[in-house]
Amino acid sequence: MSYGHGNVLIAGITLAPSHCQTTRPGSSQTRMATVAKEKTAVLLIVEDDREMRSLLCDEFCGMGFHLREARDGDEAFLAVLQSLPDVILTDLRMPAGGDDYISRLRTVAPNCPIVVMTAFGDARLKAQVLKAGANAYFDKPVHIAELKNCVQQLLNHGQGADTR
C-alpha cells in the first residue's frame, strides 16, 4: 500500500481496535487511552504525510505506547523541548528535516533513541544520519515488524545502533 510520495508501510498483522492516546502540540485531537499501572513509554512519531503518520500511530498503538505526533522537524523539536519522549521515530525528508535535524534533536535529547525512516536514502545518507546521532535507520518501504522490534530493543537494551 502506498501513502504519499515514496511512503510505503508493509504490515502483516491485524490490530484490535485502538485504545491509545495520541497528541500533537496545539491539537485538540485525542484518541482514547488505556493507562497502565507502570510507566508507559512515550513514542514521538514525526511524519509529514498524514496518512503515513496515522498508520504508524495505529501500528504502534497495540504495543502500549503513549503516542505523540509531529508533522515536521520544527514541530518535533518543540515537542521534545516540551517533554522528552522515550523514543523518537521520524521521517527524514520533510519540512525542517534532514541530517542537521537529527543533530539538532540529539543536542536536546542526548540519550533518547532516534529511529529514522526515509524513502530517499542511500549508503552515504545512512552514514550521515547515523553519524548525526540516529540509533537506527530504515529505508522505506518499512517492514513494520522490523521497525517495532527495533523500537522495543532500543527501549529494553539501551541505545545500541540497529541499522537496516
Total structural domains within the chain: 1
What pLDDT, on the 0 to 100 scale, is given for residue 2?
Answer: 36
Establish if 83 belongs to a structural domain: yes
Q: How far is CA 133 from CA 26, 101, 109, 129, 145, in A?
A: 28, 10, 10, 7, 23
**Residue with grid cell 545518507, as numbered in its chain:** 125
Mean per-residue pLDDT of the chain: 80
What pLDDT, on the 0 to 100 scale, is given for residue 31?
Answer: 38
CATH (domain of 113): 3.40.50.2300
pTM, whole model, 2 decimals?
0.77
In total, the chain counts a number of residues equal to 164
Q: How do residues 129-151 score in pLDDT, each as one tens digit?
A: 999 999 999 999 999 999 999 99
20 Cβ contact list (under 8 Å, min separation 6): 31, 32, 33, 34, 57, 60, 61, 65, 66, 67
Establish if 136 belongs to a structural domain: yes
Q: How do residues 78-137 score in pLDDT, each as one tens digit?
A: 999 999 999 999 999 999 998 899 999 999 999 999 999 999 989 999 999 999 999 999
- List the domain range (segments joined by +) for residue 111: 2-157
Label residue 39 by pLDDT band (50, 70, 90). confident
Label residue 38 by pLDDT band (50, 70, 90). low
DSSP 32-52: -----SSPPPEEEEE-SSHHH
Nearest 5°: CA angle at 77, between 133 and 153?
45
Grid cell digits, residue 33: 487511552
